[in-house]
Chain A
């Protein structure tokens, strides 16, 4: 986990209690966590008492970055505390508070970070029909079985502000192709199970 110079400069006033007092620090921490978790309650910076606003803004951004980066790299609590104490001159009580808050919210932060990205469609349902084709326009005698398969999958639509929509995937296959498909699916399941046993 690396932090840029701007971020580490912004962290400096957070480290000692003379620049930012404890109450303000805790409020700032709460605010950062609630912003990342996108919970509804938000405070304004003016509620934090009369501080130097530029310092506060920088500290706020830096604290956000530290929490995000730590959660992103799944940093150990010990590593984080040693990093804060050694590289950013945090006092031990401050580092402890920050690390405690981080450890309490780590899984939530990571879950919140997991929203970012693209995911393949998620299959929720499948319908099928079996047709027997006797003849068609070009052949008098076909005599083949045909499976019509329709898979319903949930996906996010980019044009509609990433709302969940259901997409239908349709395809036709013969018995052999269906068997092939099913065996491939089973292979995939087995592979996952084998990974899970390890």
Chain B
């Protein structure tokens, strides 16, 4: 029974009953605890019942609670008898039976075991739920407690609240240097442009807020473009559009950076007058001419001041300003002109550079022709001899050529063979290397897949480990199973013993039947024989009489033995009954019941007294 009690107490604790540690069997349960545990169980089985969790002080309310508890149990299908006394005046066996029934009826947790979300949407929904939960649990904050419209929590998470600090997704085109070029098509000019003129991506955007959208846009756009190019034959529109856009972009960049240079120059020129206004920050904010004009306007405003000294000063300053402005304009023009001339000159230089190799080639040709001509002029005076010499030379050279050709053929054939073999081998090698490259690629893909899988598996493992840890807190599963196996073994043994006893009794019964049959037969036989002799012999008659009395005495004896057995059995039954009754400790319960009855009577009397006094006071009032 201890095991059963342990299981019951364990499951009661699991559903949230406040059972102290020293209580380890149902014998120690007080009526309050019994009622509390039963109400908890019923609450879980039928949440709509709404019974009070503790025993009320008033006796009648206690009685009512007990009765409703019993009714609820009967409604659930409790097989035995039960009433208010089961809870209020409990005995161990009844309570055990009730709790076993209730705990069996508890909804199994295994039924609602969490099926871990596997799909992407489930995970997303779960994440949304977690974020919403966090947001719902956090208290309200005034808007000035947010940092740029974002509320930061202590655990590092954040949530966007309110409506401040938004920015639209507005992007502009970015230009990023192509440093590592595969086809070597980045010319010197591009390189120089990248190094000297192209501003950083941070400075390419007009507004700092545009940086992130622009970068996202840049990335996505080039990916989309690549996909489109890989899908279809590159449409001409794209190919034409890009250079045009790039060109405008480049022109803008060059202008910007040249403006920057001018403003720097301006800084050195106007070291005295304007430095305070055109400080470093103005410079980095990309100085523009408009600022100069605004400065001039400011000066104009100041000029209206009536004091003459100031007027003089202003006039001086104005003159100076005018001068510097002219200087600046001059500078601008001069630089523009020089830039233009530089452009022109560089174009010319390039053209000249292009022309140079052609000219050199022509020169070489001319030189060769000149040498040939010179030789022929040298040979002219002794023409005939030279002619024959030349002819013999030609012949010998022709012969030489033929022999050389034969030799060449000789050499050529094996070389050609060799070349073909090498070519074949090379192609083989190439195909092999192609194959290997394919294999490498496949392996890489596989490795990536495997690593993904490993990651998934690891995640699953950690999840399962967490689940396992959360589950296996105090289940003594193995102990229980061992215990159950032991119990089953005991039961089997007992069954065998019972079978043995039953067999014994059956054999005994058979023997008894046999014996009684034989007795009957021998008696009738003896009876007949003695009866026959009794007519003639006196002794036989007496013997017959004795036999009759012996028989009746014996049968009486047998009857007595049987009766004794029955009585013994009855006594045993009664003893058991007495034990059961004494276990119910009727005396104590009766005392408690009578005490409760007395209390109830007292309560009733008090209530009637109250009623009477109320009535009397009412009567007095009416009188």
Contact = CB atoms under 8 A, between A and B. Distances in A.
B129 A195 contact: yes
Contacts of B208: 38
A73 to B, nearest CB: 11
A192 B136 contact: yes
A118 B195 contact: no
A56 B165 CA distance: 32
A198 interface: yes
Range for the number of chain B residues in contact with chain A: 35 or more
Contacts, number: 160
B568 interface: no
Contact of A115 (B126, B132, B149): B149
A24 interface: no
A117 B49 CA distance: 51
Given A10-B179, A12-B180, A54-B179, A113 B212 contact: yes
24 contacts: A2-B219, A4-B218, A7-B222, A9-B180, A36-B211, A42-B202, A45-B200, A52-B179, A54-B191, A57-B194, A58-B177, A65-B219, A86-B444, A111-B152, A111-B160, A113-B212, A117-B169, A118-B166, A119-B163, A119-B166, A156-B163, A156-B166, A164-B165, A196-B135
A55 interface: yes
Given A9-B179, A68-B212, 12 more contacts: A4-B222, A53-B196, A58-B177, A61-B174, A64-B211, A69-B216, A86-B448, A107-B158, A115-B209, A116-B213, A119-B166, A122-B163
Contacts of B166: 115-119, 156, 162
Contacts of A10: 176-177, 179
Nearest to B199: A57
A60 B201 contact: yes
A110 B159 CA distance: 10
Contacts of A36: 211-212
A113 B165 CA distance: 11
B150 A164 contact: no
Interface string B167-191: 1110000101111100000000001
A120 B162 CA distance: 9
A195 B133 CA distance: 8
B150 A114 contact: yes
A112 B208 CA distance: 13
A13 to B, nearest CB: 7
A57 B176 CA distance: 7
B220 to A, nearest CB: 8
Contacts of B223: 2-4
A197 interface: yes
A7 B213 CA distance: 15
Nearest to B207: A161
A195 B219 CA distance: 35
Nearest to A109: B212
A198 B122 CA distance: 10
A176 interface: no
A8 B135 CA distance: 38
A35 interface: yes
B216 A68 contact: yes
Interface in B134-151: 135-136, 143, 148-150
Interface in A152-184: 153-156, 158, 162, 164
Interface string A86-106: 100000000000000000000
